[in-house]
Structure 1
Amino acid sequence: MPARRSAVERGDIPVSSFVALGDSFTEGLGDETPDGALLGWADRLALMLADRSSAPFRYANLAVRGRVIDEIVEEQVPQVAELTPDLVSFCAGGNDILRWGSSVDRIAERFEEAVVELGAGAKKVLVFTGFDPRGTPVLRRLRGKIATYTAHVHAIADRHGCLIVDLWSMKALQHPLAWSDDRLHLSSEGHRRVALRAAEILGLGPMNSGPAPDALQGSGRQPQRLEDLRWAKEHFLPWLGEHLLGRASDEVPEPKRPELLPL
C-alpha cells in the first residue's frame, strides 16, 4: 500500500481520465451553481486534475441520487471495464445503512466485490468512508453502525491497494457550514473541502484550501430543540418517506455526465 501511494504522489501514474460512481454525494447535491446545475466534489476534483494533466483530460460522472449499493454495482460499476479510466472513485452504501434492518457486513461484502471489479478496469481506485453523524439529530443514533462500516472500508482499501478519503476524520465537516439546510447533503463549502482532500490523497497537494473561517473550526453543530424539530418536519421526514418507505417518484434520474468526454 505505501509503495503504491508513493508512486501516485511522485506523479509516476498520471491521471488523464476520471470516472465517478455513487449516489447523491458524488452527483453533487447541495452544491448548486447560480443557474441551478449541480457541481459537487467530483466535478471540482476533475477540474483540478484537468489543470494538472499534460494530456487531454476526460471525465464522466455516473452517480445518481438515491441509489443503494446493489443498484450502483449493477448499473454503474460494469461501465468502468468499458471506459478503462486512469482513476475511478467509488462511494456507496450510505443509503443502505440508513435503512432499517440493513446489515453492515453484507453491505461491506458488496462493496468489496465492486472494488475488485473496479480494480480490473481502472488503474487507481479511490474510495470514501462514511461521515461522522454526531452533530445530526436522529442520524447520530446510527453512529456506531456507520463507524463499523467505515472500519470495513479501511480494511477493504488496505487489502486491495485503494486510495481512501477518510470523511469520518475531517474536522471541517463537523460544522454546520459544511452542510446544506437538509443536513443530509454537503453544502458548496463541504463539497469544496472534500475535493481538496481527495486532491491531496491523489498527490496533487498539499492543496491551498484558502483561509479557514472561524466558523469551520468549531466542534460541530449545537442545535436547539426547536430547530431539530423543524428540521425533522421539513427535511428528514419527507426524505424518509421518499427513500425508505417506498414513496419515491417513479421518475428515474439520469447521470449528469454519462460519457467519458473531454472536460
Structure 2
Amino acid sequence: MSKRLVAIGDSFTEGVGDDDPGYPNGVRGWADRTAEQLAAREPDLRYANLAVRGKLMAQVLSEQLEPALDMRPDLVTLYAGGNDLMRPSVDIDTMMDDYDKAIGRLVESGATVVIFTGVDGVEDALFRKMRGRVAIYNEHARVIAARRGAKVVDMWAMRQLRDRRMWAPDRLHLNPLGHNEVAIEVLKVLGVDHVLAPHELGPRATVSPRDRRAQNLQWSKEHAWPWVRRRLRGESSGDHILAKRPSLGPV
C-alpha cells in the first residue's frame, strides 16, 4: 500500500468544479476523494496536491516535477496538457516528448505513476472540434504509459463523462458527480477496494433547439468570453493561486 501520494497537474487535479469550502482552495476533487479512500486503508498515508488551475504542460513540469520527486512518493498522479490543447496552436508531439521524459523520471524514482487520457467531447458542439487533438494526445499517452510502465485512467472510454450533468456550469471542469466518477476509476486502476458509488442519473431531459441556443448564449456570456479575455490579456485563472496541499501531510 502506498504511503506517500503526490498529485500534480492543473485544475483537473486541483479539483476545480467540485466546490467545497471545507477543503483548501475551496475545492475537493477526484484526487482528494482518492486520497481519502486510500487513507482509510493505510492510516499512515501522507498526501500532497501540487496542482494549480490554468497551468500549461510546460508550467506543470517546470514548477511541480522537482518538488514532487523531492517528496520521494510511492504513488504519483499526473495529468497536464488540457489547457495547451485549447490554445489556438499547439505542438502536441513536442509537448508529449516533454511529458514522456517527466513520466520516465517519475517511474525511475520507484513510484507507481498514474496518467490520464482526455475526455471525449463528442456530445458538446464546442469540444467536438477538439476531438482530433485530444485523440492524438491520448495515443501519445497510451504509448508512453506502455513504454514507461505507467498506469492509465482512460477517461476517453468513460462514456458517463459525455453527460453534461457530470460537468460544472463552465463546461470545462467536472462537477462533484464527475470528480466522483474519476476517483472510482483511479481506484479501480490501482486495484484498491473503496466505498465510492457511481451516480445513476437516469434519462436526460429533452432540450429543444431554441432552449439549447439560449443555454449556449448564456454560457458564452458567463464563461467563454471571460476565458477569451484572459487569454488576450495573457492572464491565467491560476495566476494568484497556490497549491492546495504543497507538502505531504495526513489526509
In the TM superposition, residue 120 of structure 1 has moved relative to its aligned partner by: 2.5
Question: Partners of 1:208 and 1:172 in 2: how far apart?
Answer: 16
Q: Which residue number in structure 1 is paired with residue 28 of structure 2? A: 39
- State which of 65, 73, 84 in structure 2 corresponds to 1:85: 73
Partner of 1:133: 121
Q: Secondary structure at the match of 2:124?
A: coil
Q: CA deviation at 1:80?
A: 2.2
1:155-175: CA deviations, max 9, x gaps? 110010101101111011111
Q: Letter of the aligned partner of 1:47 in structure 2? A: E
Shift in CA distance, 119/155, structure 1 to aligned 2, threshold 3 Å: same
- 2:51 is matched with 63
Query: For 2:150 and 2:195, how far apart are their aligned partners in 1?
Result: 21
Matches of residues 111-126 of structure 1 in structure 2 within 5 Å? 111-126=99-114
Contact 2:177–2:199 under 8 Å retained in 1: no
| Aligned counterparts of 2:229 and 2:109: Cα–Cα separation in 1 | 37
Confirm or deny: 8 A CA contact 2:117 2:156 kept in the other structure. yes
Unaligned runs of 5+ in 1: 1-13
Q: Within 5 Å, which residues of 2 pair with 1:150-165?
A: 150-165=138-153
SS in 1 for 2:100: helix
- Please tell me whether residue 224 in structure 1 is matched to residue 212 in structure 2: yes
Partner of residue 177, structure 1? 165
Normalization by structure 1: what TM-score? 0.87
For 1:19-48, what per-residue CA distance to the aligned partner results, in whole angstroms no more than 9, with x for missing partners? Answer: 000000000000011557210000000001
Q: 1:42 to 1:206 in 2, by over 3 A?
A: closer
Letter in 2 for 1:195: A
Q: Is the 8 A contact 1:200 1:207 kept in 2?
A: no
Contact 2:117 2:141 in 1 (8 A): yes
Q: How far, CA to CA, are the matches of 2:109 and 2:56 in structure 1?
A: 22
CA RMSD of aligned residues (A): 2.1
Q: 1:238, CA displacement in angstroms?
A: 0.9
TM value normalised by structure 2: 0.91
| CA-CA distance at 1:248 after TM superposition | 3.8
Cα shift at 1:143: 0.9
Cα distance change, pair 71–151 in 1 and its aligned pair in 2 (3 A): same
Check conservation: 2:76, 2:113, Cα contact below 8 A. Answer: yes
1:215: Cα distance to partner?
4.5
In the TM superposition, residue 205 of structure 1 has moved relative to its aligned partner by: 3.8
Of 130, 145, 150, the residue aligned with 1:142 is: 130
Q: Distance in 2 between matches of 1:114 and 1:161?
A: 13
SS at match of 1:204: coil
Compute the displacement of 1:213 (Å).
2.6
Stretches of structure 2 lacking an aligned partner (at least 5 in a row): none
Instruction: Provide runs of 4+ in structure 1 moved above 3 Å.
Output: 205-208, 247-251
Percent of pairs with identical residues: 38
3-state DSSP class of the match of 2:130? helix
Checking the alignment, whether the CA contact within 8 Å between 1:80 and 1:121 is kept in structure 2 is: no
Q: Distance in 2 between matches of 1:72 and 1:34?
A: 25
In 1, Cα distance between equivalents of 2:186 and 2:132: 25
Q: Is the 8 A contact 1:88 1:122 kept in 2?
A: no
180-189 vs 94-103, greater mean Cα deviation: 94-103
CA 1:215 to 1:15, structure 2 compared with 1: closer, same or farther past 3 Å? farther
Alignment-derived partner of residue 250 in structure 2: 262
> Who is 1:5 aligned against?
none
Q: Is 2:53–2:237's contact at 8 Å kept on the other side of the alignment?
A: no
1:27 aligned to 2:14?
Answer: yes
Mark the CA change 1:249 to 1:58 in structure 2 (over 3 Å): closer, same or farther.
closer
Please point out which of 72, 75, 85 is paired with 2:60: 72
Paired residues of 2:168 and 2:174 also in contact (CA < 8 A): yes
Query: Contact 2:52/2:238 (CA < 8 Å) preserved in 1?
Result: no
Q: Distance in 2 between matches of 1:141 and 1:197?
A: 26
